[in-house]
Structure 1
């Protein structure tokens, strides 16, 4: 499936044109695919594990007694369009709740978990936490999230959410995802036309296209090589494309994947600077217009619309039948030591968990709603860019974190993979050595306790 942006939806004032679009009578089918896709994505996200000893401080709530009506929301968003979601939620909630103030607090991605867990020791922290959904077990085990079973079980719209977007540990609910995010292969259609290739459907086609792009003087692909969970998130599709799985880690299959990545950096298709890039910088680099491909997510649709001045599109990552793409997104929960847990829940109910709030995230950044009613909205069925992501959900979607990783090991597993991934991209570790080292590190982490 190949889709390209429509100039009418971009509103950039550039001379862009719709390429590859067919008759509009496919809209109903596409809407059905996307609605089903959101459910399929959600069904891959359940977490199980152990219960932290900390609990919510609901007795401290002052929101209904005329006390402090300020809530703090910690998040890690730096991309302008993702920040806009936070601002739009703030505006929505303050408009609907007189006298309430929402304070959005940015904490860098690689510092959020440690700051949250450090705050537990001082019995402080935010009212609302917006975090990498895969870290639900880490934060709950660290005592940073309050159980919210009472609120969730009494939520009138609970039935709109598949059970698997509800993050539970030892039977207690700690967070719910308002939307689903995943990776695709963005491409610069102008560069592909110049070098005479079509959007790749296989790894062989991708590798051939990268060579042609580099030979023509362009960058090949952008992605994140950070030595932490963002790196692991972006590494997994490529690692699994060769048959690697956390169920049975195989050093030989890992080496094949690392050999491919090394070939990209050796040829110049992938810059070694990627080891310093989070997921925002690679897409900004792609949107500048001189790179053929970007491994990045549906949340970049807003950035593409506002900044790209070339024809572009998205196809599923060409990772084959064995390749897997994580189905992720942010989890939202109540801080364990919130001063206003009731008001914090109301904020979540009226923003992340409401149809209006989920469509804000869709329209601002392209995140797929978790609610089944919001997922069937016509604004989704009419957007061709989202179809590639829906295809990936159905064909290559995988649990995030992987089911084979015990909840208590998630943080260490992501760090181990991210560090080795980064070392291969940076040229510090040879593929064979990297594969052996990583399997050795993973084996004790994957043992069921």
Structure 2
């Protein structure tokens, strides 16, 4: 969550979205003959100290390489989408915008973005799912230099002491979590808060079981939700998962209160700081042996708003620099992301063993908006509400999903 480092804010008022009425985007060639721009503005939400410093280094690198001054702006994650939609309405967007990938559809629908092909940016070598995440109505409006995702992170010492191997299937995960739950400690921790963050964590179970967002109340969906609900009802996972965000989950794991956790690649640096903690990372377990997990793609896409020919061209040069392989690798290493190009990611996984499981998952990962586009936020919230209702025991699984399907309007 990007995805996922912080809770994703995917909803904004209908009034804001209505105000951002689509209008034809001028091509990158508009302003031909005008002097080349020597500076641009950039907006992102890397507000935490580590992420902000790593991103600033990337911007400084590309400012030096392109000779273009970059005036950076940053806002907290929960303020990003409202600010972007307001700025789209008032035509005051920055020249270069990095936004959470599930929000691209909403922003592109306002007509405020320009196709990246106008700047010679291609999709050659990128994972198909990453291309889909940046595409709206068959045009490429955003590309991510790197992505993040979820995996199963486990405490090697606790598993070894219990004689448990890292699980690969749902049955193995259920058995392992049960055996590791003792002395006030839980076998598994995850986040199930009633927001996109909870949906993001549930989607690997949902999608890996063959469920689709267009039919939240399908048998496959019910099976996935029942599985997760059973983990909580059996005591293998805490009932507090409905209030834990992903940072809370990491706290539980680092504190030794959970033997395994579902969490993202952005935690690796923090885990490495814990010298007494010996951890391992494997792909999220799947329903049947031999299957491949289907996780949601997290991370931010670079976009170029409509601001005028010279500044758009300058932003295109900076974005091209950010998407170059050396810069892509630098960002991925600094921020525990996976490079967006297949060959680069494979090289990265070999060099960074703790990231290999995350790299392995990107090939089968999915864009959250690929199926539903602008409708995704409403469906996501409906699914998050169903997750809460089932895990708290308020509503049986089938009824919770039936209500979600009705609420989603999909």
TM-score class, shorter-chain normalisation, is 0.7 to 0.9
The answer (yes or no) to whether the contact 1:199–1:315 under 8 Å persists in 2 is: yes
- Is 1:145 the counterpart of 2:110? The answer is no
Contact 2:151-2:282 at 8 Å conserved across structures? yes
- 1:348 corresponds to which of 319, 324, 337: 319
Aligned length: 383
Contact persistence 1:289–1:308 (CA under 8 A): no
In 1, the alpha carbon distance for the partners of 2:223 and 2:346 equals 40
Q: Deviations over 1:180-202 (max 9, x none)?
A: 32221111111212322111122
Deviation at 1:217, TM superposition (A): 2.5
Q: For 2:277, which of 310, 329, 339 is the aligned residue? A: 310
Does the CA contact (< 8 Å) of 1:325 and 1:398 recur in 2?
yes
Contact 2:129 2:367 (8 Å CA) reproduced: no
CA distance in 1 between counterparts of 2:261 and 2:337 reads: 18
Distance between the aligned counterparts of 1:163 and 1:262, measured in 2?
32
Which position in structure 1 is the counterpart of 2:386? 420
| CA-CA distance at 1:426 after TM superposition | 4.4
Aligned CA-pair RMSD: 3.3
> Which residues of 2 match residues 209-358 of structure 1 at below 5 A?
209-246=176-213, 248-307=215-274, 309-320=276-287, 321=291, 324-337=294-307, 340-351=311-322, 353-358=323-328
Aligned partners of 2:85, 2:275: CA distance in 1, in Å?
Answer: 39
* Distance (whole Å) between structure 2 residues aligned to residue 79 and residue 199 of structure 1: 32
Give distance in 2, aligned partners of 1:412 and 1:230.
14
Deviation at 1:73, TM superposition (A): 1.8
1:313 deviation in Å?
0.5
Q: Which sections of structure 2, spanning at least 5 residues, go unmatched?
A: 1-20
The residue number in structure 1 matching 2:397 is 431
- Within the candidate set 366, 370, 384, 2:336 is matched to 366
Alignment counterpart, residue 196 of structure 1, candidates 159, 163, 188: 163
Q: Distance in 2 between the 1:101 and 1:247 partners?
A: 41
Query: TM-score, normalised to structure 2's length?
Result: 0.80
Q: Does structure 2 conserve the Cα–Cα contact (< 8 Å) formed by 1:221 and 1:292? A: yes
Shift of 1:295: 0.9
SS in 1 for 2:143: strand
Q: Residues 202, 373 of structure 1: CA spacing in aligned structure 2 closer, same or farther, 3 A cutoff? A: closer
TM-score when normalising by structure 1: 0.74
CA deviations over 1:9-61 (Å, ceiling 9, x no partner): xxxxxxxxxxxxxxxxxxxxxxxxxxxxxxxxxxxxxxxxxx94352696689
